[in-house]
Amino acid sequence: MAMSEALSSGEVQAAWLNLAEEVRTGVLLTLRNGRPFGSHVPYVFGEQWTRVYIHVSRLALHTEHLLQNPLVGLFVSEPDRPEKNPLVLRRMNLQGEAVLMASDAPDYAAVKGRYLARFPRSAMMFGFADFSLWELRLEDAHLVLGFGQAYLANATAPLIWTHQKPEPKRV
């Protein structure tokens, strides 16, 4: 595919769904003393990229950070392999806010079910008092599918992906 060929929003939508299904963990970015702090976390997406759910321990630093400042990012990337060019790895960068889900929230049972379907070994942790479900309410997405294939989307229109074209060179 040539660098200038942009994919349709439908093709980009299919590509991010594929990445989200293939890669089960991401880097959760929280703020620690005003600086970025990354933690590796399992996740499950909602119907769109605008909602992601994580199940994390209150004992973890990232949860303490979320309680102090809900601003959050999530970075999802396909794994690097020796035969791959690391600069063309498919990756998605999401930004928004985290909200603690109450166990009596209307969609709690459905989210828990989706989470357990993806991570059945985590069932025991739902019985631990220090673990909670969090909803990441994401506003902005940046998806890279290869060289010249970067796309942007916003939560106001999550199915519309805009090709990020390079700025023209100024002389």
pLDDT for 1 equals 42
CB atoms inside a 10 Å sphere around CB 52 = 25
3-class secondary structure, 44: strand
pTM (two decimals): 0.91
Q: Report if residue 35 sits inside a domain.
A: yes
> Which structural domain, as residue segments, surrounds residue 75?
23-140
Q: How many CA atoms lie within 13 A of 84 on its CB side?
A: 10
User: What is the number of domains present in the chain?
Assistant: 1
- The per-type count for the chain, helices as H runs and strands as E runs, is 3, 9
Q: How far is CA 26 from the centre of its chain?
A: 7
The residue type at 48 = Q
pLDDT tens for the chain, 171 residues long, are: 445 588 999 999 999 999 999 999 999 999 999 999 999 999 999 989 999 999 999 999 999 999 999 999 999 999 999 999 999 999 999 999 999 999 999 999 999 999 999 999 999 999 999 999 999 999 999 999 998 899 999 999 999 999 997 666 676
Q: Report if residue 120 sits inside a domain.
A: yes
Q: Report if residue 59 sits inside a domain.
A: yes
Q: Report if residue 154 sits inside a domain.
A: no
For position 58, which CATH number holds?
A: 2.30.110.10
Q: Report if residue 104 sits inside a domain.
A: yes
Q: Report if residue 153 sits inside a domain.
A: no
Torsion angle, alpha carbons of 80, 28, 103, 46, to 10: -60
Compute the distance between CA of residue 137 and CA of residue 71 in angstroms, rounded to an integer. Answer: 10
Q: Report if residue 90 sits inside a domain.
A: yes
Q: Report if residue 46 sits inside a domain.
A: yes
pLDDT for 30 equals 97
